[in-house]
A and B are shown apart, each in its own frame.
Chain A
């Protein structure tokens, strides 16, 4: 049964990917891409990689789709007719795929107990020693946040980089219009809400059902975000997923009620602050452990008992991850949604 399910999901994945390539409407392609991500998450679940599945569902199927939609709201769902189609990219892709298939023939069997990864001394220590050394039930969290905590610090920095990259590029292009917008904002508060196009990310005041439903939903989304954040030591989850879910709550609010209200609650300046703060919190934990005489990110020294130190360290760095991820997602969303606002205003 399990084999049947994985083959079925794999076929679905291929079909989905081909469909994404085939459809010419970008809106349809985005939704299909989201479906592909979700299938991928299911495959990860079948492979017992629940943390990865969770991330894929939250990031790949969730927030990426929203960001794609944000982009489409700016550029429209119609693909520019491509000028030329050459065989070279297709041949290259097929060649790369061919090499990957070639490589799979001598790969260890999935799930077999004697694969190099299963028998490696790393896996042995992670499984057998980490309950004593780090003592968090979710070993994935122990590896990600402690043994390989520096990689996670790097990944958090990647998210931070992405956030400031989007802010830099979009603000640069928008810069020329900033003055007009400032004038319009002072004279016509909120009146532009009615002058919406159907592609806009802005809310229409007439959508009663989404208003009510999202009002009911948002507290639970945020609560779930907190759960995923602080429960990451015990079950699947952690800062990355929590950050994305938390940001999704705010983005849902923006989509239904309008960006202006979200910006009143969380101004861009504050988002920028949190973007930097998360990285500084993570790095700060490392610096404190250095000041206590250890190496960077050595949580053992944070408190008197090493295990307690590990717990505190993991809690803090995961919080740093969560804060930066939330802020980065919001910054990217503000970047795109703010652009559509500008466009609408200058068009009105």
Chain B
């Protein structure tokens, strides 16, 4: 077992990566799905192993190819990367439990071999980005993730042809983001002669005050901002989330943008250092207004949507605003709130998208007009949605409340007028969230169903995974020691890494 554990960092990535081509060789609905689910669950268990190990004994380095860093590529499981890997693989596994029935409604069975291959590639790509300690390796795995996400989103075309344009829009915007990241990494290499993140970080102070490095930092930050759909680079996200197949939306809502948030945190703290990022660079002054505008304006926009998936997508952009705000605070509490919200928002939003997927399974639509009276037609699913909505708003006993609690603490730590202003802005944004969730509640319970609307619950294979996420939401809203503990360890680790 010990020898298997020493291979855990690489196994968590190459298991899904190598299962993808195997999956692609098979046709039919069952085998590719079963393989994907098992592999994702194994990857999840390796991530959990790593997380608990790292929390106790500190970071693990794995030298790929037996070449020591900085010559070879190194994988580093540390409190932050292990935590994010756990979130990604956990969300992926939960979504897969639900996937089998759901995806058959949207993608023909003959394409499922390739479909699940793309799903595994997206999973492996995101895990690889998270654990690698090498700047160029990030770009390579970013490409795997991006290409597979474009195609997964386009698979919604069977339901709505606009999935193709949504995927194309994401392809153009995402490629620009990836190119910016590549330019940034290239400039870093020119100035340091190395690609290992720790190695770059050790030389960073001596070269920080040069033009190429300033440009590199700019390109990297804008690249990450595009990839994480930070306001005002979010235009691709609502379309992509709306038209993608339901399980793809649920998977990406919990993982894809979170990986970019992770990258932003990783580069700010592990490479540039907090002194440079928030001292020499005015990152707080840039990120904070954007974060506030994001969660205020996008919450308002969400109120006026006529499609439930699009409504939740805009809410995601708003929630990303909270994570950016936590980063912009440049404090341990703020960072803890951001990292914690990666976990909390992932579990809540994925749960919500899964319940929406169940509604789609029965009604064939996610437009609000077709979902009127859904509370009577699908009581169990709708109740799950309402509970998830409460968690999204941040009602006490839900994870949304916990993250906001830490974020408000971080904001008030500033002790100045801006701090109080930010707290009030967060409160207003939460009120907007109450409005858009209430709109759905009203529609679901107090409006009559359209004539001849399909009635009946979704099959148990859909409802049980939905409720796992909903129960999970409340569990981690009440029993917070674990999630908060890991987030605090990660934040302390990052702040400690500051020179």
Contact = CB atoms under 8 A, between A and B. Distances in A.
B71 A105 contact: no
B281 interface: no
A106, A157, A299: residue with the most chain B Cβ atoms closer than 10 Å: A157
B117 interface: yes
B157 A122 contact: no
A125 B22 contact: no
B236 to A, nearest CB: 16
A103 B194 CA distance: 18
Contacts of B219: 99
Given A147-B65, A148-B72, A151-B137, A167 B192 contact: no
A298 interface: yes
Given A105-B211, A161-B147, A295-B64, A155 B140 contact: yes
A122 B183 contact: no
Contacts of B72: 147-148, 150
Interface stretch (B108-116, B380-388, B455-463): B108-116
B193 interface: yes
A147 B137 contact: no
B151 A122 contact: no
A272 B23 CA distance: 11
A18 interface: no
Contacts of A125: 71
A160 B125 CA distance: 13
B313 to A, nearest CB: 22
A272 B151 contact: no
A157 B71 contact: no
Interface string A267-289: 00000110111011001001100
Given A146-B65, A168-B111, A123 B193 contact: yes
Interface in B113-155: 114-115, 117-118, 121, 124, 128, 134, 136-137, 140-141, 143-144, 147-148, 150-151, 154-155
A168 B151 contact: yes
Nearest to B157: A172
A225 to B, nearest CB: 22
A297 interface: yes
B121 A161 contact: yes
B154 A107 contact: no
Contacts, number: 169
A119 B193 contact: yes
B325 interface: no
Interface residues of B, number: 63
Given A161-B118, A168-B115, A296-B65, A122 B71 contact: yes
A235 B218 CA distance: 38
B215 A168 contact: no
Interface stretch (B13-21, B39-47, B336-344): B13-21
B25 interface: yes
B364 interface: no
Nearest to A280: B21
Contacts of A297: 64-66
B24, B111, B121, B150: residue with the most chain A Cβ atoms closer than 10 Å: B24
A101 to B, nearest CB: 10
A107 B114 contact: no
B211 A151 contact: no
A304 to B, nearest CB: 16
Contact of B21 (A99, A103, A106, A275): A275
B25 A276 contact: yes
Contacts of B218: 99
Contacts of B49: none
Contact of B211 (A102, A157, A161, A172): A102
Contacts of B20: 157, 160, 279
Interface in B408-430: none
Contacts of B65: 146-147, 149-150, 295-299
B216 interface: yes
A276 B212 contact: no
Given A161-B148, A164-B118, A280-B21, A117 B211 contact: no
A172 B155 contact: yes
A105 B191 CA distance: 12
12 contacts: A116-B193, A122-B194, A147-B65, A147-B72, A150-B64, A157-B17, A164-B151, A168-B111, A273-B25, A287-B18, A295-B62, A295-B65
- The 6 A-B pairs at the shortest CB distance, nearest first, are namely A120-B193, A276-B21, A103-B215, A298-B66, A154-B140, A165-B151
Given A158-B143, A173-B157, 20 more contacts: A99-B218, A106-B211, A106-B212, A115-B190, A117-B189, A117-B190, A121-B70, A122-B193, A150-B65, A157-B17, A157-B124, A162-B147, A169-B151, A172-B154, A172-B157, A279-B18, A280-B18, A290-B7, A296-B10, A296-B14
Interface of A: 99-100, 102-108, 115-123, 125-126, 146-151, 154-155, 157-158, 160-162, 164-165, 167-169, 171-173, 175, 272-273, 275-277, 279-280, 283, 286-287, 290, 293-301
